[in-house]
Chains A and B, each alone.
Chain A
Amino acid sequence: MPATNVSKATRDQSHARVFDLAELSLRELNQALHQLTPGSNETAWEVLNPKGSHSVAVGVDQPVAIDVRGSVGYYCGGMNAGGTITVHGSAGPGVGENMMSGSITIKGDASQYAGATGRGGLLVIEGNASSRCGISMKGIDIVVHGNIGHMSAFMAQSGNLVVLGDAGDALGDSIYEARLFVRGKVESLGADCIAKEMRPEHIELLQGLLDRAGVTDVKPSEFKRYGSARTLYNFNIDNADAY
């Protein structure tokens, strides 16, 4: 493993630390991010030439801002804890997987499993998300400006998934306690997922999520809420047809 070559990293005019992946390796980038200590002044980072690299800015555990100029491969921002990551491009599979806190914004589209198993923080996808968005989510908030693909929020345990566009087949299959808000059409609902009443507390919650995601031109009242019917919470042989 090459040692982190700090001297090669440069700074732009805004004093962000610039990390060019055309010159430095992914290992050097992630190592440098992991070496940050609480209170570091290196709070702004810019990553150039990601060119679809996997695992860009994974395991970040300090409150730093990272702007990635271009598209990324798998697992960008994986297990992020406190970082503010912006991808000025599209993201491959598993963006923000198992995120703990902080935020990730994708200016383009996201591939499969966006925000998978995420436990906290905010994932914003300004384009569309593919299948299995929010799979097994455990507390993360996800806001998708466009559409999401099939099997999204499969086994979603906790957190909120907000979709300004449409949702594909089998939304929320085997869902637990996560809340799903969809503004457009839902192709079909998965096992044990049902439409639910939008009560005032849900309107308030959704408004807060839209505000945090910087969405200003739509109202919470335009959304429908979906969640668990809770009929599959304890195994019952009479429900066997549902599986």
Chain B
Amino acid sequence: MTYRNPPTTPRKSATFDDYTLSEIRRAAATGIYDIRGAGAKRKLPHFDDLLFLGASISRYPLEGYRERCDTSVVLGSRHAKKPIELKIPITIAGMSFGSLSGPAKEALGRGATLSGTSTTTGDGGMTEEERGHSKQLVYQYLPSRYGMNPRDLRRADAIEVVVGQGAKPGGGGMLLGQKISDRVAEMRTLPKGIDQRSASRHPDWTGPDDLEIKILELREITDWEKPIYVKVGGARPYYDTALAVKAGADVVVVDGMQGGTAATQEVFIENVGQPTLACIRPAVQALQDLGMHRKVQLIVSGGIRNGADVAKALALGVDAVSIGTAALVALGDNDPRWEADYNELGTTAGAYDDWHEGRDPAGITTQDPELMKRVDPIAAGRRLANYLKVMTLEAQTIARACGKNSLHNLEPEDLVALTIEAAAMAGVPLAGTNWIPGKNGF
């Protein structure tokens, strides 16, 4: 009998894991970086790393089914004659017609309107579908200015000057030629079938002093009626928030790196910008330092999934949150019912992110007339409304348990963190201790 050395179990590298190896092979084969939709997929410190304390002897709770817990919020009262009044502090983030189909935009408008909240245009102008079905519509003012015109500016309920987004702070966009239908081409004043690049900087202003003058122009054109939001990616949230306030914003929107995009380089999405959790306290601190907290409203987006996330964001000082990816999932994005189609595209339900290619089996991120029929805007709008209702009820459940009769009465004191990282980012104590890393010199 021959002796054989005992074999070792084959071991894969943590550094060169399966995904990394596949990406090296893909890059070597194609010579081009990977472009995809959605936000950061890597594991990041997030709202899951926070817990509410709930009521105890020193705090008494509210009755879950009898005592009122207010969810409403007013946005834009600083300067606008007509601020936006929302029934719930959850808004729908900007997503363009072009990246999304007409029926998907309509469904977002229907769902938001049923829920008493606002939806937002995107890089591609305002469509009749979304204006018609959105009681409150925020019109984005983007570097590309695709579809921008004074008539739509005046029929918007608010204007959002987009400086950046969480998936790609400092980056522009690209809508690949295959998604450019006649209608998309016309709205963007470009030939059909060519790639449409969206600039990373605004064409007619640079820096905070110019932004102040630009905001003045937008206010003058709209006779000071509309709230003006300024949206920034989660890069330097303290300074960006302070500068937006200085420039005259009514509302500041901070989008963390889990915030989605229609199409950007994978390397950009995963390596530029800060997690949503890390952006909130600096942004709130900037508002507090300027004496503008609750006067200029703060909206945070990027990875908001449920009522607990909403409650945690509000407890950290945010006025409202915004959802994009989660809203698309509610409409039907990445639904396992299309698994066979996802498999044909070399992916699986839950992982599909090639939103820029226009072949979305769920019919949402496409301009293909056949695929977009898979979205019934009425039914999908209803699903979004249901989802928003659940998120709101969940947030109220937590707030009542903390003894709050308004979601906006939640406060950092209601929270602890499960990890040192989350404790440092959120500025709340590590669970079981009174230690807030970075506070008081240690």
Shortest CB-to-CB span from B369 to chain A, Å, is: 22
Task: Let me know if B204 and A93 touch, CB within 8 A.
Answer: yes
Task: Let me know if A97 and B223 touch, CB within 8 A.
Answer: no
Task: Let me know if B149 and A138 touch, CB within 8 A.
Answer: no
A7 and B191 CA atoms in complex are apart in Å by 50
Is B159 among interface residues, defined by CB-CB distance under 8 A? no
A157 and B213 CA atoms in complex are apart in Å by 25
Shortest CB-to-CB span from A190 to chain B, Å, is: 14
* Per-position binary interface string of chain B over residues 173-195, scored 1 when its CB falls under 8 Å from any chain A CB and 0 otherwise: 01011000000000011110111
A74 cross-chain contacts in B, Cβ below 8 A = 210, 213-214, 217
Is B370 among interface residues, defined by CB-CB distance under 8 A? no
Shortest CB-to-CB span from B172 to chain A, Å, is: 10
Minimum CB distance partner of A120 in chain B = B149
Partner of A73, one of B81, B189, B213: B213
Task: Let me know if B149 and A113 touch, CB within 8 A.
Answer: no
Task: Let me know if B148 and A98 touch, CB within 8 A.
Answer: yes
B222 cross-chain contacts in A, Cβ below 8 A = 59
> With A75-B217, A136-B199 in contact, is A61–B150 under 8 Å at CB?
yes
Task: Let me know if A237 and B32 touch, CB within 8 A.
Answer: yes
Minimum CB distance partner of A158 in chain B = B189
Task: Let me know if B176 and A235 touch, CB within 8 A.
Answer: yes
Is A94 among interface residues, defined by CB-CB distance under 8 A? yes
Task: Let me know if B214 and A234 touch, CB within 8 A.
Answer: no
A57 and B396 CA atoms in complex are apart in Å by 48
Is A116 among interface residues, defined by CB-CB distance under 8 A? yes
Task: Let me know if A138 and B145 touch, CB within 8 A.
Answer: yes
Is A225 among interface residues, defined by CB-CB distance under 8 A? no
Shortest CB-to-CB span from A163 to chain B, Å, is: 19
User: Given known contacts A93-B205, A158-B190, A234-B177, what 6 new A-B pairs fall within 8 Å (CB)?
Assistant: A78-B221, A79-B153, A155-B203, A174-B197, A176-B194, A233-B191
Task: Let me know if B204 and A234 touch, CB within 8 A.
Answer: no
Is A183 among interface residues, defined by CB-CB distance under 8 A? no
A177 cross-chain contacts in B, Cβ below 8 A = 190-191
Task: Let me know if A79 and B150 touch, CB within 8 A.
Answer: yes
* Per-position binary interface string of chain A over residues 99-113, scored 1 when its CB falls under 8 Å from any chain B CB and 0 otherwise: 010000000000011
- Which residues from 343 to 396 on chain B have a C-beta closer than 8 Å to any C-beta of chain A? none
Partner of A233, one of B149, B150, B195, B216: B195
B151 cross-chain contacts in A, Cβ below 8 A = 81
B204 cross-chain contacts in A, Cβ below 8 A = 75, 93-94, 97, 112-113, 116-117, 135
| Residue with the highest number of chain B CB atoms closer than 10 Å, among A61, A79, A155 | A79
A116 cross-chain contacts in B, Cβ below 8 A = 203-204
- Which residues from 99 to 157 on chain B have a C-beta closer than 8 Å to any C-beta of chain A? 144-145, 148-151, 153
Report the 9 A-B pairs with minimum CB-CB distance, sorted nearest first.
A59-B221, A233-B194, A94-B204, A113-B204, A116-B204, A117-B145, A79-B150, A138-B189, A135-B203
Task: Let me know if B149 and A98 touch, CB within 8 A.
Answer: yes
A100 and B81 CA atoms in complex are apart in Å by 26
Is B31 among interface residues, defined by CB-CB distance under 8 A? yes
Is A30 among interface residues, defined by CB-CB distance under 8 A? yes
Partner of B220, one of A27, A139, A158, A237: A27
Minimum CB distance partner of B174 in chain A = A235
Is A202 among interface residues, defined by CB-CB distance under 8 A? no
User: Chain B contact residues (Cβ within 8 angstroms of A): what range?
Assistant: 35 or more
| Residue with the highest number of chain A CB atoms closer than 10 Å, among B197, B217, B220 | B220
- Which residues from 139 to 186 on chain A have a C-beta closer than 8 Å to any C-beta of chain B? 139, 154-155, 157-158, 174, 176-177
Is A58 among interface residues, defined by CB-CB distance under 8 A? yes
Partner of B149, one of A30, A94, A100: A100
A27 cross-chain contacts in B, Cβ below 8 A = 220, 224
Is A224 among interface residues, defined by CB-CB distance under 8 A? no
A-B contact pairs, 30 of them (CB 8 A): A30-B223, A31-B223, A54-B216, A55-B220, A58-B220, A59-B150, A61-B150, A74-B210, A75-B214, A79-B153, A97-B204, A98-B148, A112-B204, A116-B203, A117-B145, A119-B189, A135-B203, A136-B145, A136-B203, A139-B189, A155-B197, A155-B199, A157-B188, A157-B190, A174-B197, A177-B191, A233-B177, A233-B195, A234-B193, A235-B32
Task: Let me know if A235 and B195 touch, CB within 8 A.
Answer: yes
Is A34 among interface residues, defined by CB-CB distance under 8 A? yes
Partner of A136, one of B144, B195, B214: B144
Shortest CB-to-CB span from B69 to chain A, Å, is: 36
A55 and B220 CA atoms in complex are apart in Å by 7
Is A26 among interface residues, defined by CB-CB distance under 8 A? yes
A113 cross-chain contacts in B, Cβ below 8 A = 203-204
Is A1 among interface residues, defined by CB-CB distance under 8 A? yes
Minimum CB distance partner of A81 in chain B = B150
Task: Let me know if A157 and B195 touch, CB within 8 A.
Answer: no
Minimum CB distance partner of B194 in chain A = A233
Shortest CB-to-CB span from A16 to chain B, Å, is: 21
A34 cross-chain contacts in B, Cβ below 8 A = 223
> With A26-B220, A234-B195 in contact, is A54–B213 under 8 Å at CB?
yes
Minimum CB distance partner of A78 in chain B = B217
A86 and B203 CA atoms in complex are apart in Å by 23
A206 and B416 CA atoms in complex are apart in Å by 69
Minimum CB distance partner of A115 in chain B = B204
A177 and B185 CA atoms in complex are apart in Å by 13
Shortest CB-to-CB span from A171 to chain B, Å, is: 16
A78 and B153 CA atoms in complex are apart in Å by 13
B210 cross-chain contacts in A, Cβ below 8 A = 74, 93
* Per-position binary interface string of chain A over residues 116-146, scored 1 when its CB falls under 8 Å from any chain B CB and 0 otherwise: 1101000000000000100110110000000
